[in-house]
Structure 1
Amino acid sequence: MHTLRIDHLVLTVASIPATCEFYSRVLGMEVVTFGEGRTALSFGNQKINLHQVGREFEPKANRPTAGSADLCLIVDPGNGDIMAHLAAHQIAVEAGPVVRTGAIGPIRSVYVRDPDHNLIELSEYIR
């Protein structure tokens, strides 16, 4: 077997509406409904499925917990930079910008927290 890519991942969240608002407003993800009324955040060829704490879809993680994720997202800040974008959306920066190592090379990263306090690393590859 050969793994090709990540298709989706699941975040367990305290509030699906608050999570959707943050990820759509700040990160430009599209809120989509699928299946029998389930909610996901779509971007590129990937998505993040959302599970409400206490109402997780089966099968689920062994110990689903809101706020336990640490994700790195490659972003395109558009005409500005990541710091200016976050400031414009009044998002506190946890750390950064700092240089890290991404899957295919060096990245410049800024760390923020989502509504559940998941650590979200917003990165761009250094060219």
Structure 2
Amino acid sequence: MIDHLDHLVLTTTDVDACKDFYVRVLGMRLQTFGAGRLAFCFGNQKINVHVRGHEFEPKAHLPVPGALDVCLIASVGLEQVVAHLEAQNWPIVEGPVQRTGATGPILSVYVRDPDLNLIEISEQL
């Protein structure tokens, strides 16, 4: 019945810091849509942004920053991801470690975005 993820919604307290992380550090494309809404695009998916206290309806029952835990598959090898994160002075919380992804084994590093959401960046093994 379900084929793939189209988008997810991220709640932030600091739009500028959020944009910096997802665009500069992770290399996503910034998109504006609707009535001034923001999204970070990658592949055929996107992350829509809600600002805490100014969310769009309908929204999650309790939208809070720091509640997201997401795994993103990199378009380059994990060594390149680690080198890029180091070049951007972005700390790695854990990894590289082997995990199990949706389609099989993955090698992952974990970082936190400015709202302290846990972002897992992986390569498929």
1:119 maps to a residue whose letter is: L
For 1:81 and 1:29, the matched residues in 2 are separated by 16
For 2:25 and 2:7, the matched residues in 1 are separated by 20
Over 3 Å counting, the alpha-carbon distance change for 1:108 and 1:17 in structure 2 is: same
For 1:121 and 1:80, the matched residues in 2 are separated by 14
1:16-36 deviation line (CA, Å, top 9, x unaligned): 221111111111101100011
1:4 CA drift (Å)? 1.0
User: What is residue 38 of structure 2 aligned with on the other side?
Assistant: 39
For 1:112 and 1:60, the matched residues in 2 are separated by 25
Normalising by structure 2, we get a TM-score of: 0.95
* Gap regions ≥5 residues in structure 2: none
Query: 4+ residue stretches of structure 1 with deviation over 4 A?
Result: none
1:91-110 pair list within 5 angstroms? 91-110=90-109
Count residues in correspondence.
125
User: What is residue 120 of structure 2 aligned with on the other side?
Assistant: 121
1:55 maps to a residue whose letter is: H
* Gap regions ≥5 residues in structure 1: none
1:76 CA drift (Å)? 2.3
Over 3 Å counting, the alpha-carbon distance change for 1:108 and 1:35 in structure 2 is: same
For 1:77 and 1:86, the matched residues in 2 are separated by 13
Normalising by structure 1, we get a TM-score of: 0.94
Over 3 Å counting, the alpha-carbon distance change for 1:39 and 1:62 in structure 2 is: same
Asked if the contact 1:77/1:85 (under 8 Å) is kept, the reply is no
For 1:39 and 1:103, the matched residues in 2 are separated by 28
User: What is residue 111 of structure 2 aligned with on the other side?
Assistant: 112
Give the RMSD, CA atoms, in angstroms: 1.3
Asked if the contact 1:99/1:106 (under 8 Å) is kept, the reply is yes
1:61-81 deviation line (CA, Å, top 9, x unaligned): 000000111010001236952
User: What is residue 87 of structure 2 aligned with on the other side?
Assistant: 88
